[in-house]
Structure 1
Amino acid sequence: MVDQAVRPIVEAIVAKAPNGWTHAVLHGRAGRGGTSVTGGYSRRSEQWNVGMPSPYVELMALAEAVREDRGWEPVSLEIQCRPSGEYQLVAFTDAISRVNGLGSGFQVVLDPDYRLPQPGLHQEPGTAAPAGDPELAVARFRAYLERRAAILGHPDQLPPPASAAAIDEAERRLGRRLPADLRALYMIADGDGIGYENRYLFQGNAWLPLKSVVAEHTDWSGGERPWYGWDLEWEGVVFDTTPTDTVRRCGGHPGWLRFGTSEDGNFLAVDTDPARDGRPGQVISTGRDYDDGPAYVADSITSLLGHYLELLDQGAYEQHGDHISLIEPSCDPDPQQIIGDTPDEVPPTLQAIHINDAKGLVDLAPLTAAPNLRRLHLNRSTTADLTPVRELPVESLRVTLDNGDLTPLSGHPHLTSLDLTTTVPADLTPLRAVPHLRGLDLSGAEVPDPSVLADLTDLRYLSLTGRQWATLLDEGGVPPTVAAARLAEADATLDDALAWAARLGLTTDNALRVTGTLKTTGG
Structure 2
Amino acid sequence: MVDQRLLLSSVCDFATWEPVLRLMLADDSERRAARSARVAGRISQTGWSLAHRGSMSSTARIGVEDVQRALARGRVQEIAFRAEAQPDGRTTLGLVWPCPAVEAAIGYPDLGVLILADGSLPEPWLRRPDPVPGAVPAPSADLELLERTLRERLPDAIGATEQEIAAAEARLGVTLSEELKVLYRVTRVDWGDDFEEADRAGEAVGCELSGLDDLYGVDAAVRHPGWALGATDAVSTAPEAAVQGLAGSPGWIGFGSNGGDEFAVDLTPGPAGHFGQVILVDHEQSLGAELVADSLTDFVLGRVQEKRRDRRGDTFPAVARVGTGCLETIHAAAHPALEVLSIGAWDGTPFSLAPVAGLPRLRTLTALPGTLADPLEVAGLTGLEFLELGAQEWRVLLDAGAVPRTLKAAAIKVRDQDHLPVVAIANEILALWDRPQIVQALLAGDLGPAV
TM-score of the two chains, using structure 2 as the length reference: 0.75
Instruction: Tell me the amino acid that sits aligned with residue 10 of structure 2.
Output: R
What runs of 5+ residues in structure 1 fail to find an aligned partner? 42-47, 68-73, 147-154, 312-327, 337-350, 353-373, 377-392
Q: 1:466 and 1:449 mapped to 2: Cα distance?
A: 14
The one of 42, 47, 67 equivalent to 1:28 is 42
What runs of 5+ residues in structure 2 fail to find an aligned partner? 32-36
Name the counterpart of 2:337: 414
Name the counterpart of 1:464: 389
Aligned: 1:482 with 2:437 = no
Deviation string 1:221-259 (CA, Å, 9 cap, x unpaired) is: x56443211111011133647x83432210111221100
Contact 1:137/1:185 (8 A) holds in 2: no
Compared CA separation, residues 271 and 472, structure 1 to 2 (3 A): same
Contact 1:213/1:258 (8 A) holds in 2: yes
Contact 2:101/2:115 (8 A) holds in 1: yes
User: Equivalent residues in 2 for 1:281-430 (5 A)?
Assistant: 281-305=276-300, 307-308=301-302, 336=310, 374-376=313-315, 394-400=317-323, 405-410=329-334, 412-421=335-344, 422=346, 423-430=348-355
Contact 2:41/2:81 (8 A) holds in 1: yes
The one of 247, 252, 259 equivalent to 2:243 is 247
Compared CA separation, residues 493 and 40, structure 1 to 2 (3 A): farther
**Structure possessing the higher relative contact order (Cα contacts under 8 Å, 6 or more residues apart):** 2
Q: 1:37 and 1:80 mapped to 2: Cα distance?
A: 16
* CA positional deviation for 1:489: 0.9
Name the counterpart of 2:177: 179
Contact 1:256/1:273 (8 A) holds in 2: yes
Compared CA separation, residues 413 and 249, structure 1 to 2 (3 A): same
What number of residue pairs does the alignment pair up? 420
Name the counterpart of 1:110: 116
* CA positional deviation for 1:123: 6.0
Q: 2:66 and 2:244 mapped to 1: Cα distance?
A: 44
Name the counterpart of 2:252: 256
Contact 1:78/1:494 (8 A) holds in 2: no
Contact 1:240/1:293 (8 A) holds in 2: no
Calculate the aligned-residue CA RMSD, in Å. 4.5
Deviation string 1:75-101 (CA, Å, 9 cap, x unpaired) is: 654376999999764314142355354
Compared CA separation, residues 404 and 280, structure 1 to 2 (3 A): closer
TM-score of the two chains, using structure 1 as the length reference: 0.66
Compared CA separation, residues 209 and 9, structure 1 to 2 (3 A): farther
Instruction: Tell me the amino acid that sits aligned with residue 195 of structure 1.
Output: F
Name the counterpart of 1:367: none
Contact 2:41/2:109 (8 A) holds in 1: no
Q: 1:330 and 1:472 mapped to 2: Cα distance?
A: 52
Compared CA separation, residues 99 and 274, structure 1 to 2 (3 A): same
Name the counterpart of 2:375: 450
Q: 2:371 and 2:388 mapped to 1: Cα distance?
A: 13
Name the counterpart of 2:195: 195
**SS of corresponding position for 2:256:** strand
Contact 1:192/1:209 (8 A) holds in 2: yes
Percent same amino acid among aligned pairs? Answer: 21
Name the counterpart of 1:379: none
Which of the two has greater strand per residue? 1
* CA positional deviation for 1:295: 1.1
Q: 1:481 and 1:498 mapped to 2: Cα distance?
A: 22
The one of 38, 63, 68 equivalent to 2:49 is 38
Aligned: 1:436 with 2:361 = yes
Compared CA separation, residues 138 and 444, structure 1 to 2 (3 A): farther
Instruction: Tell me the amino acid that sits aligned with residue 291 of structure 2.
Output: Y
Compared CA separation, residues 517 and 444, structure 1 to 2 (3 A): closer
Contact 1:258/1:267 (8 A) holds in 2: yes
Name the counterpart of 2:267: 272
* CA positional deviation for 1:516: 8.0
* CA positional deviation for 1:304: 3.5
**SS of corresponding position for 1:255:** strand
Contact 1:161/1:189 (8 A) holds in 2: yes
User: Equivalent residues in 2 for 1:7-22 (5 A)?
Assistant: 7=10, 13-15=17-19, 17-18=22-23
Q: 1:288 and 1:108 mapped to 2: Cα distance?
A: 26
Name the counterpart of 1:150: none
Deviation string 1:337-377 (CA, Å, 9 cap, x unpaired) is: xxxxxxxxxxxxxx86xxxxxxxxxxxxxxxxxxxxx434x
The one of 454, 473, 495 equivalent to 2:398 is 473
* CA positional deviation for 1:172: 2.1
Name the counterpart of 1:208: 210
Instruction: Tell me the amino acid that sits aligned with residue 118 of structure 1.
Output: P
Q: 1:464 and 1:508 mapped to 2: Cα distance?
A: 19
* CA positional deviation for 1:174: 1.6
Compared CA separation, residues 427 and 492, structure 1 to 2 (3 A): closer
Compared CA separation, residues 435 and 512, structure 1 to 2 (3 A): closer
Aligned: 1:142 with 2:148 = yes
Q: 1:279 and 1:476 mapped to 2: Cα distance?
A: 51
Q: 1:49 and 1:508 mapped to 2: Cα distance?
A: 40
**SS of corresponding position for 2:186:** coil
**SS of corresponding position for 1:485:** strand
The one of 88, 92, 96 equivalent to 1:90 is 96
Instruction: Tell me the amino acid that sits aligned with residue 115 of structure 2.
Output: V
* CA positional deviation for 1:189: 0.5
Q: 1:63 and 1:95 mapped to 2: Cα distance?
A: 21
**SS of corresponding position for 2:259:** coil
Contact 1:106/1:488 (8 A) holds in 2: no
Compared CA separation, residues 50 and 251, structure 1 to 2 (3 A): farther
Name the counterpart of 1:231: 228
Aligned: 1:167 with 2:155 = no
Q: 2:140 and 2:204 mapped to 1: Cα distance?
A: 17
Name the counterpart of 1:502: 427
Instruction: Tell me the amino acid that sits aligned with residue 280 of structure 2.
Output: S
Q: 1:163 and 1:457 mapped to 2: Cα distance?
A: 54
